[in-house]
Amino acid sequence: MAQTDYWLEMQGRLTEPMRYDAATDHYVPCSWEDAFALIGRHLQALDSPHQAEFYTSGRTPNEAAFLYSIFVREFGTNNFPDCSNMCHEPTSRGLPPAIGVGKGTIVLQDFEHAEAIFVIGQNTGTNSPRMMSNLVEARKRGIPIVAVNPMPERALIRFAEPQDVVQMATFGSTAITSEFVHIRIGGDLALIKGMMKVMFEREAQGERVLDHDFLSEHTVGLEALREDVMAQDWDQIVQVSGISEAQIRRCAEIYIRSNATVICYGMGLTQHQYGSRLLQQVANLLMLRGNFGKPGAGIGPIRGHSNVQGDRTVGIDEKPKPAYLDRVQQVFGFDPPREHGHHVVESIEAMLAGSARVFIGLGGNFIRAVPDTPRAYEAMRGLDLTVGIATKLNRGHLVHGRDALILPVVARSERIVMPAGEQFVTIEDAMSNVTASRGVLEPVSADVLPEVEIVCRMAMATLPHSKVDWMRCMHDYASIRALIAAVYPEIYTGFNERIQQPHGFHLDIPPRRRVWPTPNGKANILVMPGLDVDDPVHDPDMLRLATVRSHDQYNTTIYSYNDRYRGVYNDRMVLFMNIEDRLARGLEKEALVSLETISRDGVRRRIEGLTVLDYPMPRGALAGYYPELNPLLPLDYYDRISGTPAAKSIPVRMRAMAAAIA
């Protein structure tokens, strides 16, 4: 436990299955047969299938995720805590009531046709560098790009193109943002309502600003939205957003002049207590100008993991729809459980309550990603069995149950050769494009297995009378894709044929055709009263903390202690703070401070030894690195619709440590 996350990552690949030996307090090698037998015994010994939690990481390909969902449902539970619960679950839960699907509606080609692009709550250069080339090309065409973020990020402002030889040789860069909106943490709803207020004001003055044809034919709820928005006071909008009325009006003018607008967003919008409802307001803004179902327009959640969206599509869902469960029953011949299962927060609560006994993690670093780190550690250590399926060591392998296994998996870059021949897997990106992923390297060891085989063999060890032909699925991945197509005929018919296309294929997203798979068949304009995206906290000392990633970091994986875009080197225990806030507290430059969470549950959450760094943050806002600051995020501080922790707006108090006051 004394080793850092970086040290664990640097130990390289896992090459053989390992079992925890309590007598020596070490992991020791074990056979695959013994590992699967141990899993089967623990699962079969449970009093109820609901005592097991089955986690999925977004790196899991479609084939493995689909089989995992079938295995777990035949076992008898819908307990599917998933990495999306902690990032883009508000997309999956918030957008369907509005537009009928929990996904984005754009494809990459839309950037070529957009007349304006808004990027809200997302640091594209660090978290989605592949998207930067699309923004660079749009900017070269003179397309306005509006970036909305509490932290001015270097790559959001200017970007050096790796493909541009001259630019790289001369240390040049391309200006990206035409309008940077330096918003307060939690001020996004006020900005969106301010822009909509400008539009409704101009309509009231007789100007035709809204797309009335689209609104009348495709939507319901416009008048309720107009009434709510017009009731908002400009002084309050400015105060909550932290930006001037003049800039809000500039943003609105950019939006109004554009006939095709893309709005992209990241966790700066989703990780709030009302993140799901906030995304509905983004959809409202797009509807007012008819920005669905035409080239260059739509909503774009920018996701991180390679298949976090695909896993959801093929069944990793703790709240499955009845129609899906009916098809599972028809295709596989067993009756899947109907009651809802656990998302991430609920799974930890179940562990703490003693009602969960087994945890199986198909990829990921669950224990470092979740909130309330000390309580989460306590929860995990109380389990009978923990299983980590991974390529490398991570913290989750050190914080484990009484029995524990580490099962090494084939990397995405490595070949999968089975009796039926060489296999490939598929993934779905944030644009709903499904592509094949084929490894080219030999596996690092003869004792690593593909995810599909691990899932199948866990199922065979647990369900000796299963109705599923696990052996066939394990050997022939085309048979898995045929089953996916049978369960999802609307989007995956002809899966094996369509995936042969060089660039894969796009899943059908009905709003792209202006078809709305909602109960009323319309796009619903949904009202969110007020301007707050988090519960108000009445404390004069409160600061709002947002946890962020560094440049040399991917999710919980730390590749170095440097964050060169923000000028931080060899340290991650830092806080980015407005210099005026620092001076108002009498703190020296680079003072050492502690943070304590403001909460009402009686649990003291405190981190000491954080170095304050001057950074152009809005007043009242702080930022620090994830996962180091996860101990400050209460387990109960989350969006009730999606279950997503509100990691972008943690209410905290700052205290100077000894010798840190000027």
Residue 488 tokens, joined: 């999802």
Percent share of the chain, pLDDT over 90 = 81
Report how far residue 89's alpha carbon sits from residue 80's, in angstroms, rounded to the nearest whole number.
13
DSSP symbol at 632? G
Report how far residue 310's alpha carbon sits from residue 315's, in angstroms, rounded to the nearest whole number.
9
pLDDT at 2 over 80: no
pLDDT band at 170 (very low <50, low <70, confident <90, very high): very low
Give the per-residue pLDDT at 564: 83
Report how far residue 193's alpha carbon sits from residue 285's, in angstroms, rounded to the nearest whole number.
8
Question: Coil, strand or helix: which one is 523?
Answer: strand
Give the per-residue pLDDT at 662: 45
CA distance readout (Å), 556 to 118, 366, 396: 27, 9, 11
- Which residue would you say has higher pLDDT here, 305 or 564? 564
CA distance readout (Å), 387 to 3, 107, 145, 363, 418: 21, 37, 45, 10, 24
Give the per-residue pLDDT at 554: 73
Burial of residue 10 (number of CB atoms within 10 Å: 0-12, 13-18, 19+): middle
Residue type, 559: Y
Residue 608 tokens, joined: 């000491």
User: What is the residue whose two structure tokens read 């004792």?
Assistant: 447
- The mean per-residue pLDDT over the stretch 328-357 comes to 97
Give tens-digit pLDDT for 181-224: 999 999 999 999 999 999 999 999 999 999 999 999 999 999 99
Report how far residue 565's alpha carbon sits from residue 268's, in angstroms, rounded to the nearest whole number.
18
Give the per-residue pLDDT at 158: 53
- Alpha carbons within 13 A on the beta-carbon side of 56: 36
Give tens-digit pLDDT for 110-158: 999 999 999 999 876 555 556 667 787 888 899 999 999 999 876 666 5
Give the per-residue pLDDT at 38: 98
Alpha helix ranges (H) inside 80-120: 89-94, 96-99, 110-113
Give tens-digit pLDDT for 452-475: 999 999 999 999 999 999 999 999
Give tens-digit pLDDT for 477-532: 999 999 999 999 999 999 999 999 999 999 999 999 999 999 999 999 999 999 99
- The mean per-residue pLDDT over the stretch 572-586 comes to 96
> Of 650, 657, 655, 612, which is closest to residue 632 (Cα–Cα)?
650
φ/ψ of 269, rounded to 5, equals: -100, -40
**287-301 burial string, b = 16+ CB within 10 Å, else e?**
bbbbbbbeebbbbbb
- The mean per-residue pLDDT over the stretch 260-285 comes to 96
> Of 367, 104, 276, which is closest to residue 643 (Cα–Cα)?
276
- The mean per-residue pLDDT over the stretch 374-389 comes to 97
User: What is the residue whose two structure tokens read 């998207």?
Assistant: 131
Give the per-residue pLDDT at 172: 42
Q: How many CB atoms lie within 10 A of CB 422?
A: 11
- The mean per-residue pLDDT over the stretch 338-349 comes to 97
The set of residues, in sequence order, having a beta carbon less than 8 Å from that of 223 and lying 6+ positions away, is none
Give the per-residue pLDDT at 661: 47
> Where are the strands (E) in 416-526, listed by range?
416-418, 421-423, 425-428, 433-437, 505-506, 523-524
Q: How many helices (H) and strands (E) does the chain have?
A: 28, 28
Report how far residue 69's alpha carbon sits from residue 328's, in angstroms, rounded to the nearest whole number.
10
- Output the DSSP codes for 377-418: HHHHHT-SEEEEEESB--GGGTS--SEEEEEEB--TTB-EEE
- The mean per-residue pLDDT over the stretch 397-419 comes to 95
- Which residue would you say has higher pLDDT here, 137 or 27? 27
Give the per-residue pLDDT at 156: 61
Q: Is the peptide bond before 627 cis (omega within 30 degrees of 0)?
A: yes
Residue 33 tokens, joined: 């047969």
pLDDT band at 168 (very low <50, low <70, confident <90, very high): very low
Give tens-digit pLDDT for 45-65: 999 999 999 999 988 999 999
> Of 88, 283, 156, 216, which is closest to residue 565 (Cα–Cα)?
156
> Do 508 and 492 meet the contact criterion of CB atoms below 8 Å apart?
no
> Do 470 and 460 meet the contact criterion of CB atoms below 8 Å apart?
yes
Torsion angle (degrees, nearest 10) of CA 142, 148, 152, 156:
-40
Report how far residue 207's alpha carbon sits from residue 522's, in angstroms, rounded to the nearest whole number.
26
Q: What is the pTM of this model?
A: 0.93
> Do 186 and 646 meet the contact criterion of CB atoms below 8 Å apart?
no
pLDDT at 163 over 90: no
pLDDT at 427 over 80: yes
Report how far residue 104's alpha carbon sits from residue 102's, in angstroms, rounded to the nearest whole number.
7
Give the per-residue pLDDT at 414: 94
CA distance readout (Å), 630 to 169, 370, 484, 605: 40, 7, 37, 10
User: What is the residue whose two structure tokens read 């809005």?
Assistant: 618
Give the per-residue pLDDT at 416: 96
Give the per-residue pLDDT at 128: 56
φ/ψ of 549, rounded to 5, equals: -100, 155
Report how far residue 246's alpha carbon sits from residue 256's, in angstroms, rounded to the nearest whole number.
15
The set of residues, in sequence order, having a beta carbon less than 8 Å from that of 453 and lying 6+ positions away, is 474
Question: Coil, strand or helix: which one is 262?
Answer: strand
Dihedral (CA of 225, 230, 231, 236) sign = positive
Report how far residue 629's alpha carbon sits from residue 623's, in angstroms, rounded to the nearest whole number.
10
